Amino acid sequence: MNQITQHTRLKNLITIAILSTIAFLVMVFFRISIVPAAPFLKYDPKDVIIAIGGFLFGPLAAFSMSVIVSFLEMVTVSTTGPVGMLMNGMASCALTCTAAVIYKKKRTVAGAVIGLISGVIFTTVIMLLWNYLITPIYLSTPREVVAALLVPAFLPFNLLKGTLNAGIVMVVYKPLSMALKKMNIMPESRHGTTSTVNNPRKINIGILLVSCFVVITCVMIILVLKNII
């Protein structure tokens, strides 16, 4: 039994390492500007992979992946140093760890939806605060300038980034988890019974709910940007 447990842990660690690598690669190759008012803010879908890792292996895995990917980003493509690493890691953790904690307690589609939406809201709030406090330091910019960008730039960016990532997670989590199970990388059930997240009807409802949340948020952001630009 001990050998089986060790083997399972080793497979989990290998899978987390692979997911961290994928998260890093998508961060490097899929960075785009999504807010015209602040082209220096880049969207990348690394949090999609980290959130999936959190759903599969728990909030500690999400935290570990967030730290690993943020560190790799700092030593490769980022020019903001340790402060940038702190900001990137915090943004990833706020979304993925929040979602993973809630999903761990309620392993259903509803739990995934609630977790992701809670993660988006928490990320948006916490990053507004941290951008106000930290961004003036590492950009050497007056705090008044950063404060003036909170609503027209940082708010829509974090909302749009979070909702896009949440929507993508709901679309890809089911097929990816099933593929990992078929490859015997993760067990058929985390708790000995079939999870309700495997119910296709409930999966579709979850995708619909998150998609509606994404659409509504994006429309609100577009309206805000039209009034500002």
Domain that holds residue 59: 2-26+40-228
Q: Is residue 34 part of a domain?
A: no
Q: Is residue 127 part of a domain?
A: yes
More confident call, 196 vs 222: 222
Number of domains in the chain: 1
Q: Is residue 95 part of a domain?
A: yes
CA distance 152 to 32: 18
Q: Is residue 33 part of a domain?
A: no
Confidence bin at 2 (pLDDT 50/70/90): low
Query: What is the per-residue pLDDT for 222?
Result: 53
Q: Is residue 31 part of a domain?
A: no
Residue environment code for 79-114, b if the CB has 16+ CB neighbours within 10 A, otherwise e: eeeeebbbbbbbbbbbbbbbbbbbbbeebebbbbbb
Q: Is residue 35 part of a domain?
A: no
Distances (CA, A) of 99 to 2, 37, 114, 165, 180: 31, 29, 8, 12, 20
- Asked whether residue 158 carries a pLDDT value surpassing 50, the answer given is yes
Q: Is residue 181 part of a domain?
A: yes
**Residue pLDDT, tens place only, 159-198:** 999 999 999 999 998 888 888 777 766 655 544 334 444 5
CA distance 120 to 116: 6
pTM here? Answer: 0.81
The CATH number of the domain where 22 resides is what? 1.10.1760.20
Distances (CA, A) of 111 to 36, 86, 182, 202: 34, 28, 24, 11
% of the chain with per-residue pLDDT over 90: 45
Q: Is residue 116 part of a domain?
A: yes
